[in-house]
Every structure is written in structure tokens, then in C-alpha cells.
Structure 1
């Protein structure tokens, strides 16, 4: 079966960029914005661009299609559903991988460990967003002993033989949130509250640590009065936020470490405190865009799921090939306000 050979000019015309930009993207060179890179790769994949028997957009042995499995928590977390979609999309954009995405119960370490053990003989590489728990760590070690590389996404896991972590620096993200809330409140004293999905996620724990540390260093006038774990559930976050606002009518700020922004926003709006309580959270989604525009949220600390998915698949594919070179920096933190919301 013959393969239609597109040209650089074909890709450039379809993507609306120059041929020089296409060349930089397809050969993985620096100097191209992430949104442009994603558009070029998408067009190149759709046109089936081949050169010398290889898909230049993602370099790899075309005869060796590698099966990769990604385990992502289910539930109402909009960002994680976006990430799962972006991971699945990589199979269409690339010709050297087959990607299977498993949506699992997010706060059940035993269920996650059981799924990891279950795919041990059917996969070449595993990526996961997982709880830092003994049964999960042991399952990862078992995969490593079997020669299957494991990569962590969004939240790292300590003391395991993983090949890479793909995600933002969560401690730095917590510090950014603390700095923003401290600057926005600008009061002699004030109360702030924290919401987390679960501190069993190392990423959530690191965000809390970063937040508390910068408050201790630069904003000692602010006191953390409560921390609530809501398991990234919107209804649970709504109930907890509603009760919190009733207990603390003078609450000055809220930092939501995980998901559940919809529930917190709803409680603030119902209490008539959407404009008087500073609210900072994570991940730019259709919901947080709306809250930024309405003024219910003051800032969103974002990580790009498309970049994360591409990096994860690429790093895991390279690890399967035996590439032991150290990986560079992971995903950048982006702070989004109402005035700089990027295109969807």
C-alpha cells in the first residue's frame, strides 16, 4: 500500500506557518511556540508526512509500534479528562505508538496497584497520575523489575524507579499561589483557607508546602485557618466551601490546590462573596475560564495538557528504545488572569 508523501510546503500551507517553522517543529528544534508546534504536528500527522520511511514529526522506528498504557484518575476533574483526551490523541498524531488510556478510581491506591499489576504483561511502557502510597510504589517496582519503564504525570511518586516525571514544579506552583493571594489581599491581617483533592498526591502536598512557606516568609499577616480535602469532587467542595464561608464571614482568600473549582465558585456566588474573597486555583478549563471572566476567580495556575501528553508519550517511547539520556525541564507554569486568557 503506497503512502502519500506530503511536502513541507503542504504542511506549512495547511498549518498557516512558514516552511522554516515546519522544519523546526518536525526536527524538534527550539524557537517555536507550543500552540504553533501542536498545530504543525497535528497537520503533519493528518497528512501522513513521511521521509525515508520515518514520520519526521515524531522520530521513531516505524516497524516498531510500541504499546503504551496511561492510568488517569476519573471523576469530575475536568483537567484530567482533558489530559486523557490529549494522551489518546497522540496515537493519531504519531505512527510509532499505540496508546491505551485507563480511567481509574482516583483515590483508591489498591485499585491503581491492581491495574498496574494487571497490565504488566501486555505493555511496553506505563505512565500514571498516581497516589504516593506503598501498594502503588510496590506495583511500580514490579514493573521496573519486569523491564517496563514507568513515568509519572502531574504528581510525582517518591522512591520508585521511574524514568521521568512530566508536569509542573508543584512546590513552585504553591509559592506562586501564595504570592498572588498575599499581594491581592494586601491587609494588615487576614484569614485564608486551603482546599486539596488529597494530600496523598505528592503534587498536592508540595503545593501546600510551597503556599505555607511563602506566607511564612513574606505574608505573616495571613493565617491559614482551615484545610479541607475534597477528593476533587465538585459537590463535596461546594458543601465544604459553603460551611467554611458560614464559619468565617471575614475569610479573605481561598487557594484550591486541586480540582473542584466549580463547587467553590458556586458557594462564593451564592454567599455574595465572589468579588470580596480572593480565589486562586489550578488549570484553565471551560469552567475556570468562565470564573475568571466573571471575577469569581482572580487567577488560575495552569499547565498545558497537550504539551504534557506529548512530552509523556515521547519520553516513554524513548525510554522503551533504551534512550538513557537525562530529560530536560518538564512543563512550564503559566499564570492566567482575566486579561490574558489564551485561545482555547
Structure 2
């Protein structure tokens, strides 16, 4: 029977939240408590013994690294893939880095790819869906001695060497704060778009956004949240329908991708510049929407730095 964090918490004499913070290397845990939790996790077999069954991280003198990114139309992820490939070229004498695009929002496809790489890779970076099949695949891969790093969006209760990306909850709070400040006097209704709440990062952004509205802008009501799978065409259809349904819509926060579709819907409805539009990532498209006034805020992260830090 596989060890759970509940059993680790029971034997370590701490809460499951403390176990989660320890296993995911988060702040807020005393060093003595952290050591006790890790010792229990190792003893129960939740984490592999250091070096046990681990294949060398280098083959023919090169570190073998695979990175799994969602495929699709997400411009930021395309930029990140390009930066990873540039890093691979720059460090070709040190590492063999392969970037794989996986069908977006399909946990089974991601889990299959992780399992496939278990016998071939020495380290894996992954933008992971927070799903049971993906968690089990990561645990299986890590138990075989492969180092696993989460990127862009973290995942809970898995043995990984770290997380590279922004604090998504803080990003959601900032988005909510700015939207609340920019909404015109009398505005009361706002809407959310997300790629998929199966990504912990998207869920954390939503959480941060809702919390800051409740704290600082309680007069603003979230009318709807629509998941658009980071697809521009689907985002356009959903935004068009939402704008038609809510004539008093005052603001839109897009948690994921699909900004081109939302911007197009606002422009066609004659609501660009009237409805406050906040999104993520500064790309060639969002830059154009900022200059035209269709978009008010683009919260950016640095894919070059994230690629460098991950590798």
C-alpha cells in the first residue's frame, strides 16, 4: 500500500499542511520539524533513499534533461519553449536538453510521457496538471532516481527537487488590486477566464484574485468564470457570449492564455477601453492591445530567466 501524507503526518506528529510544505520545500517550517518529516517520509518509502536506484545524471559526459510543456496556442509557452531550446544550444557541451510538447489539459497523455521517459531521462522539468494520474506518474519517476522539477505551475504532494515560476497567488492578488483600481465608478460586475483550473497555477491566481476583491473591493461581484483551454477561438466565443449577457460588465481578468480572442470580442462589441481588461504575459499580441487601449494591464514573467533557472 502506498504511503500517504496523512500517514507521514501521523508518524511525524505534525499536520498534513506541514508535511505538504516540507515535501514541497516551502517556507514556514522549523528546521527540526522539516528534518523529522523528511526522515519519516524516507523511512516509509515515500521518498527514495539518496542515491538509491539513481542512474547517473550524465551520459557520455552530458546531463540528460527532458522538459514537458503543454502544446497548443499559448504564446507564453511557445516563448518559453524557444528559450529552453536557446539554452540547450548555449549549453550543448554540458547537457542534452529535449523539449516535448504534450497535448494540453490531458493528464493521461502527460502521465504516459512521464512514464515513457523514466528509463531514458535523468532529469525532467514539467508544467504539470494537478491530477491524480500525473501525481502518481511523478512519484513513480522520482522513485526510479530521476530528478523532477515543476515549472510555471506547481503540483502538490509529489517528490520534486524544486519549483521554478512566479508566485501565482500573489499574481492573482495583484491582478485583482489593479482591476479594482481601474474599474470606473459605479462598476460592479467582473468576469474571469481561465485556461483550466486543473493547473494549480490558474487555481491559485483565481484564489488570489477573489481574496483581494473581497478584502479591498467588496462592491465588485464575479459574475462568471469560464474555462477556455488557453484557446483564442474558444476565448472569443465565450467572451462574445458573456459580453452580450452582461451589459453592465465592468472588468475582465484572464488568468491564462486566449487574450487575442477576448480582445477581439471587446473590440467588435464596442466595449474596448470601457471594460477593464487585465491579463498575463507581455507578447507581441498583448503589446499591441496595450497600445490600442483594448488591454489595460499585462502582468509579465520572464521566460528567459525561468528557462535558465530550470536548467
**TM-score, normalised relative to structure 2:** 0.80
Partner of 2:68: 71
3-state SS, counterpart of residue 165 of structure 1: strand
1:85 aligns with 2:78: no
Contact 1:198 1:204 in 2 (8 A): yes
Match of 2:264 among 263, 266, 271: 266
Deviates more, 1:184-193 or 1:103-112: 184-193
Q: 2:229 aligns with which of 223, 228, 231?
A: 231
Moved runs in structure 1, 4+ residues, more than 6 A? none
2:276 is the counterpart of 1:278: yes
SS at match of 1:114: helix
Q: Is the 8 A contact 2:187 2:249 kept in 1?
A: no
Partner of 2:251: 253
- Other-structure match for 2:241: 243
SS at match of 1:132: coil
Match of 2:42 in 1: none
- 3-state SS of paired residue (2:291): helix
Q: Is the 8 A contact 1:279 1:297 kept in 2?
A: yes
Task: Write the distance in 1 (CA, Å) between the matches of 2:59 and 2:125.
Answer: 22
Give the Cα–Cα distance (whole angstroms) in 1 for the partners of residues 267 and 309 of structure 2.
Answer: 38
User: Does 2:131 correspond to 1:136?
Assistant: no
1:63: how far off? 7.0
Deviation at 1:62, TM superposition (A): 11
Q: Secondary structure at the match of 1:140?
A: helix
Match of 2:152 in 1: 154
Give, in angstroms, the shift of residue 131 of structure 1: 0.4
- Does the CA-based 8 Å contact 1:131-1:201 persist in structure 2? yes
Residue 118 of structure 1 corresponds to: 116
Q: Is the 8 A contact 2:231 2:257 kept in 1?
A: yes
TM-score normalized with structure 1 length: 0.72
Tell me, yes or no, if structure 1 residue 294 matches structure 2 residue 257: no
Please show how residues 29-68 of structure 1 align to structure 2 within 5 Å: 64-68=61-65
Query: How far, CA to CA, are the matches of 1:104 and 1:73 in structure 2?
Result: 5
Report the 3-state secondary structure (helix = DSSP H, G, I; strand = E; otherwise coil) of the residue aligned with 2:150. Answer: strand
Structure 2: segments with no counterpart, 5+ residues: 1-57
Shift of 1:64: 2.6
In structure 2, distance between residues paired with 1:64 and 1:219:
56
Q: How many residues of Structure 1 are paired with residues of Structure 2 in the alignment?
A: 254
After the TM superposition, which of the residue ranges 178-187 and 143-152 deviates more from structure 2? 178-187
- Aligned partners of 1:296 and 1:117: how far apart in 2? 44
Task: Report deviation, 1:187.
Answer: 2.6
Q: Distance in 2 between matches of 1:189 and 1:274?
A: 15
Give how far 1:106 is off.
1.1
